[in-house]
Each structure stands twice: as structure tokens, then as C-alpha cells.
Amino acid sequence: MCGIFGQLKLGGFSQEEARRALNSLAHRGPDQWSDWDDEHVYCGHRRLSIMDLSEAGRQPMIGHGVILTVNGEIWNFMELREELIAQGYKFNSQSDSEVLLHGYHAWGWDRLLERIDGMYAFSIYDTNLGKLCIARDRFGIKPLYYAAGNFGFGYASEVKALFEWRDELRCFSLNGVRDWLLYRGGQSGLTPYYQIVKLLPGHSICVDVRSGDVDVRKYYDVVDHIGDKKSDPNDLPDVFEEAVSRRLMADVPVGLQLSGGVDSSLVGHAMHKLYDTDQINSFSVGFDAENEAHLSEEPFARYVADKYGFTHHQYNINRKMIAENFEHVLWLADGMLDYPNTVPIYLLSRYAKQNVTVQLTGEGADELFAGYTKFKKMAGLSSGGSLEKMMPDGVIDAIGNMDARVGRMLHLRKHYTKQNAVILNSLNSYISASTVEQMFGPHEGHLLRGDTCAALKEFSFSRQLILADHKTYLVAVLERQDKSSMGAAIESRVPFLDRNLIEWAMNLDEDILFGADETKKILKDYAADIFSHDFAYRKKVGFPLPLKNWMESDAGLKPFRDKIYQSDFLLSEYFMHYKKKSFDHILLHYGDSESQWVEYFMMVLRSAQDVFGIREVRP
């Protein structure tokens, strides 16, 4: 919906710097911008108009001595609005954001966070209490970052705004680089940049504007909503359609990012049933090269579009387009280009902007309904004996030199069998811990926080895996979707991240989620009833890319990759410690070798150095 930036003035204030920071988010909100400040606080807002397109929806919104800026949507705003009107509150707009202004005054900060349901990152400055509060939605759909130090306190929808605010933040953090390489969506909140932290999902911060004291709190954890009452699997159609219905509210056209996979196809089915319009635009990515066409599910996307009469748009890409847009998309992603397919998602969103301002996607279904094969593979390693544990690593390495596949199998059985904590810690890793430590030294962090690990121990290991994935990997996926689509001024909405749907799914019996040989069986059965058995149970494609081909092509990403071997790369001395192993030590393969991912992530960091003017490396 928008972009927000704000700061305390304790560390000094320059209106020019503040507005430069705010306007670095212009791509998120090209329709309007406004700001507000007093002697303590600056609040700025870039608007993408979606609900109430009039001037009445302009932000910051002001009332009751409170200043509000919002990025996102509040799905239950109509119910809350009616309740507040009954209490005597007067609304000046039809915007969902205004509910937060009056809701805060009526209920206070903690109760407001309990009551709202949506995807959001917002700030409230209470001039009466001298308190600035920010919050991020329960599941991390909308990003929010902050930096705190002797330079003051600032927050923003994207890291680039913090760079524009305080030039001294343009530094790599070794600890953050290690954490990002190992975990990406980890719960430390660390970024690869010094003193810049992402606010975790379901968390808020309140700052005393006079003293600068910062109070970080968790206000939501899905674990607290898993109880003894089991969900009825027969309720899936009703719960899912309600989630889609809420995400159709808009005063602008709403389209569909239709990959042709089961998840986005189900979203399309519900849209056709619920969306009161004569025309739904759907969009999918294809590939120009014939030897890459198998990576697209375009025929299935076309089938769904034809079935429901969608106006379907296929956008083909090639390695030249990827190379031409790589640095811009890296800038959009704040240098944290975790997934190469962020570039095609941006290109598709830019293409879709010709027809829509909002798009629904199928993100989140695999994490919610155990759709990845890694869940079964990792659960299998958590039990059983292992003779390989008695084998010295040197012997395994020698075997790996002769047969990499056998060496990797032996390594995994020795180091992961019955090692549940180690398995969980490696859940998101494209690069093994041993490789990261070889380059950057030991890392003391973990994928999950201590309180999360303690809470997960109450569940079976299979459910621990799905909960850990939901709290980490999914957050990185959602940030990819947000930044790539908002880079084209399109708001992405994710029905599978509906609070009611998530809490319902988390209370399904484990046999429904994990008992069958098929992954995501409950969704596939639902899709089979709507489309066909063959459609629902075909082999999963996902969104793979020919990364190796692109990185070795002069017309592709090779010019960017080659820069990692230049001496002016700030992380060069660490990267040069890397020695390719005879076989991959990573727990799971993601389509490319570990060495390929090492080069890719080093390429991303080198490009971030160039794009953002990173000047030095700090601890």
C-alpha cells in the first residue's frame, strides 16, 4: 500500500535528510507524499492509493493528539469502524487506516494490536504520552526495519531509507552477513548491515521520545493458538474462501498472479466465485529460451484462466532481461536478494501494473500445509539409528572424492540423524554452517530464538518443522513478494496468510498434514475436486530458474559474478578462504550446488556494495 519513514530527533535532525529518506520509498507510494514533525519526532508517508482514493485518505493522519502512518491493509476495519462509530467516534474518510487512529484512542496500544487483523507495518506517535510506537503484522507480510544508536532512532519500510537518513549506516556487519548467509529469515532480526535490524513479525516497539528508551515486545505467536480442539478438514473451502473474500476489498482493480500451481489456481477459483466484476486479469511468467520452457507451468495457468474466463497475460523473460534489471531489483530488495526469482516477480509485477494495482498470490500454502518435500526428509532423519556415526569424517571425505552422492548421504546420516536441533537450525540453509565458518569464522547465532525453541519442544518434530518454517523461511519469501511487487507500485495480497486460516490449519490433526505419502494432500484433494486429479497431483515445479546458465553467460549475470574476484570487494579476504568441497554438506539441495550458491550470495553482497555505497566492514 505505501512506504513509511520516521525518526526521533534526539540524534539530530535535518529535514533534507529526512525527506530524502522518505522519498527513496517513492516506488512504494507514487500517488502522494506528506510528512509531519514537532520538536521530538518526524513522520513521513508515501501513498499508494487503494482504499478511499480521495484526499481524505492522505497520511499522516492526525487526531486525538496522535499522528499515524500506515503501510498495509486492515481486513476487519468495517467491523471495528462500526463499533467505534457506536462509541461516538467521527470518521473523516472511508480509509481502513483511520480505524487505527480512533482504535488506539479507544483501546490503547496493546488492545489495538490484539483487535486488528491485517497485513501492516505502522507507526503511532502519541504526543500526549511522548511515546512513539511501531508494529509489524503477525506473520511478516509487510516489512519494517529500524536502527538505534548514538545517531538516534529511525524506522522505515525498507533499508535504503535508513541509508539515506544516516550515511554512517552504510557498512557491512560480519555478524549480520554470517546470519544472512546461514538463515536469511532467521529470528535474530539481523541484516547484513551494521546496526540495521528487521522488526520481527508479531512484534512492536515503543520508544520514549525524550529519553530514547526502547521497549521491544512480542504481541502475537501462532504457537499460543494451537490447542486441544482439532479443526475439521471439511471446513477448508469455507475458511479459505472467507480469506480470499477479505482480500478483494479495494477501490482499484484487483488481479491474480497465476503461476498455474495448485495454490494460485485455488485462489483463482475463489476469486471467480467471489469477486463481483466482469473481468479478472491474471498474469504468469514464461521463458523465451526453448531449453528453459520446462521451468514454467504456463499451460496449467492458461487452463485455469480459460476455465474461469480470466483475461490472461503471459510475460516471457530471458537472461538479458534478468541482467538488465538485476541491480535495480537488488536495490528494491535492499541488497538482500535471497532468491534469484525475485527478478522475474518484479518484471511480472511491472507488466501487470498496466492493468491492476492489487494482485492476489498463492504464497504461504506450502509452509502452512507442509507442501515441501524437505518436511518429510528432515522428519525421517530425526529418528532411526546410524552406523555412519562411527565413521571418521576423513573416511567419509575420501568416499566423497570417489562418489559425491554417496559421500553426501554418509555425511548427512552421520551429522543429522537424531540431531533435531541441528536439523532445525539448517532448515533454510543453501550454504552449510561449516562453509560459512570457513569463510567468516564461527557464528554464535541460531535460526530460532531460545524462547521459540522452548515453545516448539511441546510439539512433535514434524510440527516443529512446519512452525519453524512458518516463522523463518516464509518471512523471507514474503519480503521477496512485497519488495518485488511494491517496486512496481503493486500491492500483493496473500490469502493463505489469513490469521483465521492459519490458526485453523495449525490445529488440523497431524495425520492430515503429515500422514500421507503426498505433500499438501488436503489442498490437493480440494483442488482435485475443482479441477482434476491429474491437475492437483502432478509433480511440483515451484519457481525454479536456470541460475547456473545465467551466471555463466556474458549476456546474463556473469559480469556481476566476476566482480566478486576483484580486490576491491570488501568481503574479498573472507571469500578467498572458501574452498569447494568434494561434495555438498548442505542438508537439502535446492536445485543448484553449494558452490553455485556461494558464488550467487557473494555476487549479491558485492553488488550491494556497489549499489548502496557500502564503505567498510564492521563486526
Provide, rounded to the nearest whole percent, the portion of the chain with pLDDT above 90: 80
pLDDT in tens, 581-608: 878 888 876 667 899 999 999 999 999 9
- Using DSSP's 3-state secondary structure scheme, residue 128 falls into coil
pLDDT in tens, 333-377: 999 999 999 999 999 999 999 999 999 999 999 999 999 888 888
- Residue 531 near residue 398, CB atoms below 8 Å: no
pTM (2 decimals)?
0.96
Which one has a higher pLDDT value, 388 or 395?
Answer: 395
pLDDT in tens, 12-65: 999 999 999 999 999 999 999 999 999 999 999 999 999 999 999 999 999 999
- Residue 236 near residue 526, CB atoms below 8 Å: yes
Domain ranges for the chain: 2-224, 227-369+471-536
User: In the predicted model, is pLDDT for residue 284 greater than 80?
Assistant: yes
Residue 276 has a pLDDT of 84
pLDDT in tens, 171-191: 999 999 999 999 988 999 999
386 pLDDT band, cuts 50/70/90, is low
Residue 581 has a pLDDT of 82
227-369+471-536 is classed CATH 3.10.20.70: no
Full DSSP string of 227-257: -SSPPPGGGHHHHHHHHHHHTT--SS-EEEE
Q: 78-92, 102-116, 505-519 — which is least confidently predicted?
A: 505-519
Average pLDDT, rounded, for the chain:
93
Residue 294 has a pLDDT of 66
Residue 415 has a pLDDT of 84
Residue 543 has a pLDDT of 65
Residue 474 has a pLDDT of 96
**CA pair distance 170, 167, nearest whole angstrom:** 6
Residue 293 has a pLDDT of 61
Residue 508 has a pLDDT of 95
User: In the predicted model, is pLDDT for residue 387 greater than 80?
Assistant: no
385 pLDDT band, cuts 50/70/90, is low
Residue 292 has a pLDDT of 66
**CA pair distance 509, 94, nearest whole angstrom:** 41
Mean pLDDT of 67-96: 97
pLDDT in tens, 120-161: 999 999 999 999 999 999 999 999 999 999 999 999 999 999
- Using DSSP's 3-state secondary structure scheme, residue 403 falls into coil
Sign of CA dihedral 76, 79, 85, 91: positive
CA angle 380, 383, 386 (to 5 degrees): 100
**CA pair distance 427, 212, nearest whole angstrom:** 37
Superfamily of domain 2-224: Aminohydrolase, N-terminal nucleophile (Ntn) domain (3.60.20.10)
Backbone angles phi, psi at 121, to 5 degrees: -140, 120
Residue 579 has a pLDDT of 86
User: In the predicted model, is pLDDT for residue 306 greater than 70?
Assistant: yes
Provide, rounded to the nearest whole percent, the portion of the chain with pLDDT above 70: 97
Residue 569 has a pLDDT of 98
Task: Measure Cα distances from 421 to 224, 383, 417, 418, 550 in Å.
Answer: 21, 13, 11, 9, 36
